[in-house]
């Protein structure tokens, strides 16, 4: 890990699936995904990145086995990294 990454100076790009579109976001971005909309996130960069995900009222735990099964049957497509598609 580089010194800049360890000190939080350099952060990766998160790939976020919203409905059928992958978008790429950087630190400080905000995304609102309404209930019932397909969504996922993944750090596909080679630099540390993270996401804070709030689910309110948080009732998704019960169907989690079905969610896991859906992802096993429908693996995410490669989002790639396209700097021109970065939204902040």
**pLDDT, tens digit, for every residue of 42-81?**
888 888 888 888 877 777 778 888 888 988 888 777 655 5
Residue 18 has a CB neighbour count (10 Å cut-off) of 16
Count Cα atoms within 13 angstroms, Cβ side, for 11: 14
pLDDT at 33 > cutoff 80: yes
DSSP-derived 3-state class of residue 83: helix
Give residue 57's pLDDT: 74
pLDDT at 12 > cutoff 70: yes
- Residue 83, φ and ψ in degrees, nearest 5: -50, -30
pLDDT at 88 > cutoff 50: no
10 is written with which tokens?
Answer: 């350099």
pTM of the predicted model as reported, rounded to 2 decimal places: 0.56
């Amino acid at each position: 890990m580089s010194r800049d990454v360890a000190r939080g100076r350099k952060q990766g790009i998160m790939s976020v699936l919203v409905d059928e579109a992958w978008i790429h976001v950087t630190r400080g971005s905000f995304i609102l995904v309404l209930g019932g909309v397909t969504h996922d996130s993944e750090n596909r960069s080679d630099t540390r990145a993270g996401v804070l995900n709030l689910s309110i009222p948080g009732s998704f735990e019960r169907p989690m086995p079905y969610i896991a099964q859906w992802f096993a049957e429908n693996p995410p497509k490669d989002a790639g990294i396209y700097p021109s598609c970065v939204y902040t």
